[in-house]
Structure 1
Amino acid sequence: MSFATHFTHAITRRPSGSIVCGLRAVDTGNPDLARMQSHHDAYVAALKGTGATVVELSPLETYPDSVFVEDTALCLPQGAVVMRPGTPSRLGEADEMAPHLRALYSEVVAITQPDSFIEGGDILVTGREILVGRSARSNAAGIAELTRLVAPWGHSVREVQTPTGVLHFKTDCSLLDADTVLSTRRLSASGCLAGYRVIDVPEGEEAAANTIRFNDLVLVPAGFPRTRDAILATGITVQEIGNSECAKLDGGMSCLSLRLSPS
């Protein structure tokens, strides 16, 4: 089993009432907190259903976007790297996450250079390499610093480009198994996924490209039946999770958890 798809633990954080102040590229209305919490409960239950231990952190009212924990860290078997988010209002989220990572890992390092910024949403760990998309939230300095930090753990980093107008690299892709990536056509057409088996999401279902493979289950956002069926055709078990409220804040399935198997 690949360390990129199978995990013993996950970390999540419940959404706070301040979520209505969360960042968004386009204003499509404020998320409904009660509905978001219901979706979040289903998400956590799905992770627990695979046998994993889920650490459920309390809401952080000070940080509206703190439900999107993936951006705060990169978790690998050998250790964790605390990120340095590209939006100043989110820097404190990474600081809040660090103690919880130290409780699970013997080695936790951090992106610290003032000219570096990088977010977990731009990082796709495939098992053979770590792909990091340059974006408005992750810059060359941040990627270079990450490369130096993970090298002693035996990991290599390859910088790629997040499509223009797309928030995070993983907005447009996700790992289904060690060799298979679910992707939008605009991303796969760039050639950055050469060498992998690529399944393009159908036209009109680009928002479904962000899923998570968690042990023997793939969590997909509800409402994208053709993408769901394409994944089912590979023989992987699929569970649909409501994502309507997170989507109003540019959030997807991967954004809501840190997935790890600390050694």
Structure 2
Amino acid sequence: MANVCTYGRFTHAIVRGVPTSFGRGGEDRAEVGAELAEVGAEPAAAAATVDLAKAQRQFGVLTGALRQKVGLQLIEIPPDPELPDSWRVEDVAVIQGDTALITRPFRLQRRAEAEAVRRVVSELSLTVVEMGAEEGDSGGATLEGSDVLFTGREFFVGISDHTNYRGAEVLADTFRDFAVSTVPVCGGARLKNICSMGGPDTIVISNSDGAKKTLRMMEQLTDHRYEVLAVPEDAAANCIYVRGANQRDFLLHRPAEECPESMEALQKLQDYTFLPTACSEAAKLGANLSSLCLLVNRKHTYF
């Protein structure tokens, strides 16, 4: 492993508003239903009708927390009703240090979402790397950011219906200072549906059988020993951690009404400022909290 940085230092958050076409995108209900069933959700959850106004309110709470409580500079891309899934901004870029890799989502209709994000990261003076189709290849590399877990030491890339090995290879070639390991996603639609970073060296992960299997593979592929915090609900495993000013630890997480069984486990994270952030409407479409933002450390102040 060639490089290590302190995890959680960010200066900016890039988000994209919830469009009026929310819930009418390529994440069709049949596929979301299959994905939810795979992670143990009730089949009826997939058929639930999304509430646009509620989704927009929840998005406002998330952005308010990032800006007003955590203290990040917020860059909000306007919603585009022609791109109904574009609020899932995490999928279209992987950002580390001075480099932003513009990804290639699995669904063709989602690839236009990258253009606005590309403009924003260019304005932040990041080095932009494009993931394009390989010449003569009808399939090509696919990669979605919600399948990418960066720990501060290395990348884990989930191989799923949305991300393939070729996509992981492009990521490895882009971020050569860090080790990159691939793991099949067991019991989850995407890697970050079942795990996230809860702090430096701390992985928060679902206690489901599939997530445990994925974790065992991750542990076999790394030479670093991470602290592991298991939570009983899949949705609670996706958090947003930020190390704020004065080394203050912030954790945005699903609230008790959405993940009642996981609150006791999360409280094991000592001296954190917990920011309950609802995500029920996005979750109906297979998304999580981290799906709605891209975090950037423009100043690179690691300490």
TM-score bucket of the superposed structures, by smaller chain: over 0.9
Identity of aligned residues (%): 30
Structure 1 equivalent of residue 102 of structure 2: 82
Pair 1:28–1:214, CA change in 2 (3 A): farther
Structure 2 equivalent of residue 188 of structure 1: 212
Q: 1:99 aligned to 2:119?
A: yes
Structure 1 equivalent of residue 18 of structure 2: 15
Structure 1 equivalent of residue 190 of structure 2: 168
Q: CA deviation at 1:221?
A: 1.4
Please give the TM-score of this superposition, normalised by the length of structure 2.
Answer: 0.81
1:3–1:77 contact (8 Å) kept in structure 2: no
Question: Match for 2:49: what amino acid?
Answer: N
Structure 1 equivalent of residue 237 of structure 2: 209
Please give the TM-score of this superposition, normalised by the length of structure 1.
Answer: 0.93
Q: Which has the larger radius of gyration?
A: 2
Q: How many pairs align?
A: 258
Q: CA deviation at 1:130?
A: 0.7
1:117–1:138 contact (8 Å) kept in structure 2: yes
Pair 1:97–1:126, CA change in 2 (3 A): same
Task: Give the alignment partner of residue 39 of structure 1, picking from 51, 58, 64.
Answer: 58
Structure 2 equivalent of residue 177 of structure 1: 199
> Which runs of 5 or more residues in structure 2 are unaligned?
34-45, 135-139, 220-224, 244-248
Structure 2 equivalent of residue 199 of structure 1: 229
Question: Match for 1:14: what amino acid?
Answer: G
Structure 2 equivalent of residue 134 of structure 1: 159
2:230–2:265 contact (8 Å) kept in structure 1: no
Structure 2 equivalent of residue 241 of structure 1: 277
Task: Give the alignment partner of residue 253 of structure 2, picking from 193, 207, 220.
Answer: 220
Q: Deviations over 1:79-121 (max 9, x none)?
A: 1100000111111111231111101133111111340110000
Question: Match for 2:192: what amino acid?
Answer: K
Question: Match for 1:13: what amino acid?
Answer: R
Q: Deviations over 1:128-157 (max 9, x none)?
A: 101101011000111111111111xx1221
> Which runs of 5 or more residues in structure 1 are unaligned?
none
SS in structure 2 at match of 1:94: helix
